[in-house]
Amino acid sequence: MTAAISLDNAKPADLKPADLRPVEVKPLPAASASRVGVLLVNLGTPDTADAAGVRVYLKEFLSDRRVIEDQGLLWKIILNGIILNVRPRKKAKDYQSIWNNEKNESPLKTITRAQSDKLAAAIADRSHVVVDWAMRYGNPSMKAGIDGLKARGCDRILVVPLYPQYSAATSATVCDEAFRVLTEMRAQPTIRVTPPYYNDDFYIEALAVSIEEHLKTLPYTPELIVASFHGMPKEYVDKGDPYREQCVATTELLRKRLGMDDTKLLLTFQSRFGFSEWLQPYTDKTIEKLAKDGVKRIAVVMPGFAADCLETLEEISGENCEIFKHNGGEEFSAVPCLNDSAPGMEVLRQLVLRELQGWL
308 part of a folded domain: yes
B/e letters for 231-251, b = 16+ CB within 10 Å, e = fewer, are: bbbbebbeeebebbebbeebb
Closest CA to 258 of 335, 348, 341: 335
Cβ atoms 358, 27 nearer than 8 A: no
Per-residue pLDDT tens for 315-326?
999 999 999 999
Closest CA to 146 of 105, 187, 111: 187
279 part of a folded domain: yes
Rounded to whole angstroms, the Cα distance separating 94 from 107 reads: 12
| Domain of residue 302, residue span | 201-334
Q: For helices 342-355 and 107-122, what crossing angle results, to 10°? A: 60
Amino acid at position 160, single letter? V
Query: Residue 127: what pLDDT?
Result: 82
Amino acid at position 152, single letter? R
235 part of a folded domain: yes
Name the pLDDT band for 34 (thresholds 50, 70, 90): confident
Per-residue pLDDT tens for 265-299?
999 999 998 889 999 999 999 999 999 999 999 99
CATH number at residue 319: 3.40.50.1400
Per-residue pLDDT tens for 228-264?
999 999 999 999 999 999 999 999 999 999 999 999 9
Mean per-residue pLDDT of the chain: 93
62 part of a folded domain: no
3-state secondary structure of 14: helix
What value does the mean pLDDT take over residues 183-197? 97
What is the total count of domains within the chain? 1
168 part of a folded domain: no
Answer whether 0.95 is exceeded by the pTM.
no
